[in-house]
């Protein structure tokens, strides 16, 4: 690919400015670039989104995979990639404005832009994931704990990163998706603060507010207090050694007995046993389903592909 240096610089800047790193965002810009290649510019803004305005027209995992395959990439994204992300319509408008601002663009320029975004998908696929070693002789809690240990090791080498919290949050989210298929579970990037996204916790199910944390704090208990005052029921899911700390903070805040504090690993393990009907033959299948759902969530909501989990 011989892309114009100034054009590549503009693409790099756009990718950085709008955090285009996860599959949902990458898929959005790739689909729109492909549309520009086949239909030309400028875009018909009336056809940019689906009739309801909630999704980008033509954005799906299947269509992303077709473009990747045509460009020689064999790896595939999930079939729902990008479709349910609330941020994609806004990103689509921003990207269309970006392309319109680059005009005049030759047909070769647009081809090169598509190839450039395909290369970013390859970068995403090539990022080293966490490894899950499923050993049927070990407890499910210990299998999950090993993932958190890997995340902690990586976190120690990357100051400022919160890998442990991200892995825990998205494992909980994946478990909720599998256990409650009739409900729409809203997910957020682990680095997105509650105040930024106007959410009262990591997960909201009826009046239950689930907070996932590896380090309970006074700030978290203030959120729980706010939940209670709003008529909601806060639940803190944390690691075993921090349960005492969370309960002590709840007592200091005057809300002990009104906030549930649970071991997150036991919460996950118990549900996995239930979903597999306690059958040994179905246990690994259930773990595989959990990890597949987890990876879908990471792909849609996280720019860091290294949060993915593969089986060792």
User: In whole angstroms, how far apart are CA 278 and each of 61, 81, 95, 271, 282?
Assistant: 33, 31, 48, 10, 8
234 CB burial (10 A radius; 0-12, 13-18, 19+):
buried
Q: What is the mean pLDDT of residues 168-194?
A: 89
What is the per-residue pLDDT across 93-104, written as a single tens digit (0 to 9) for each? Answer: 999 999 999 989
Q: What is the mean pLDDT of residues 80-84?
A: 56
The pLDDT, as a whole number, for residue 304 is: 84
The more confidently predicted of residues 82 and 118 is 118
Quickly state the pLDDT bin for 312 (edges 50, 70, 90): confident
Lowest model confidence (mean pLDDT) among 120-129, 172-181, 277-286: 120-129
What is the per-residue pLDDT across 138-163, written as a single tens digit (0 to 9) for each? Answer: 999 999 999 999 999 989 877 788 89
User: In whole angstroms, how far apart are CA 258 and each of 127, 141, 172, 191, 225?
Assistant: 42, 26, 22, 27, 9
d(Cα 290, Cα 292) in Å, to the nearest integer?
Answer: 6
d(Cα 103, Cα 158) in Å, to the nearest integer?
Answer: 40
Sign for the CA dihedral angle at 242, 245, 251, 252 comes to negative
What is the per-residue pLDDT across 28-68, written as a single tens digit (0 to 9) for each? Answer: 999 999 999 999 999 988 888 888 777 899 999 999 999 99
Q: β-pairing, 203-205 with 208-212?
A: antiparallel
Model confidence at 286: pLDDT above 50 = yes
d(Cα 226, Cα 70) in Å, to the nearest integer?
Answer: 52
Listed as own residue / partner, the contacts of 48-53 with beta carbons closer than 8 Å and 24 or more positions apart are: 48/92, 48/93, 48/96, 49/89, 49/92, 53/89
Q: Please give the share of the chain, as a percent, with pLDDT higher than 70.
A: 94
Model confidence at 276: pLDDT above 70 = yes
What is the per-residue pLDDT across 211-220, written as a single tens digit (0 to 9) for each? Answer: 999 999 999 9
Model confidence at 86: pLDDT above 90 = no
The pLDDT, as a whole number, for residue 85 is: 60
The pLDDT, as a whole number, for residue 159 is: 76
| Mean of pLDDT over the chain | 91
CA angle 73, 81, 117 (to 5 degrees): 45
pTM of the model: 0.67
Q: Please give the share of the chain, as a percent, with pLDDT higher than 90.
A: 73
Q: What is the mean pLDDT of residues 87-95?
A: 90
Whether residue 268 is preceded by a cis peptide bond, meaning omega within 30 degrees of 0, is no
């Amino acid at each position: 690919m011989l892309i114009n240096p100034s054009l590549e610089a503009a693409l790099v800047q756009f990718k950085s400015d709008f955090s285009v790193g996860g599959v949902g965002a990458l898929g959005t810009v790739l689909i729109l670039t492909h549309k520009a290649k086949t239909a030309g510019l400028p875009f018909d803004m009336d056809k940019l989104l689906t009739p309801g305005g909630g999704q980008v027209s033509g954005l799906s995992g299947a269509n992303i995979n077709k473009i990747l395959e045509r460009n020689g990439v064999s790896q595939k994204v999930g079939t729902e990639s990008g479709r349910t992300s609330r941020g994609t319509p806004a990103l689509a408008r921003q990207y269309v404005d970006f392309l319109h601002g680059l005009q005049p663009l030759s047909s070769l320029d647009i081809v090169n832009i598509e190839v450039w975004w395909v290369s970013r998908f390859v970068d995403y696929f090539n990022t080293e994931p966490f490894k899950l070693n499923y050993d049927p002789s070990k407890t499910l809690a210990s299998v999950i704990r090993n993932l958190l240990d890997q995340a902690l090791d990586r976190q120690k080498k990357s100051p400022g990163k919160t890998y442990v919290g991200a892995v825990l949050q998205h494992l909980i989210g994946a478990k909720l998706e599998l256990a409650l298929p009739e409900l729409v579970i809203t997910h957020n990037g682990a680095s997105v603060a509650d105040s930024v996204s106007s959410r009262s916790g990591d997960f909201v199910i009826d009046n239950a507010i689930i907070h996932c944390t590896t380090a309970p704090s006074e700030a978290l208990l203030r959120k729980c207090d706010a939940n209670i005052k709003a008529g909601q029921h806060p639940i803190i899911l944390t690691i075993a050694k921090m349960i005492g700390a969370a309960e002590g903070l709840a007592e200091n805040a005057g809300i002990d007995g009104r906030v549930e504090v649970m071991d997150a690993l036991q919460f996950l393990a118990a549900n996995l046993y239930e979903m597999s009907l306690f059958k040994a033959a179905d246990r690994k299948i259930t773990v595989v389903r959990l990890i597949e759902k987890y990876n879908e969530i990471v792909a849609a909501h996280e720019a860091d592909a290294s949060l993915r989990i593969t089986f060792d």
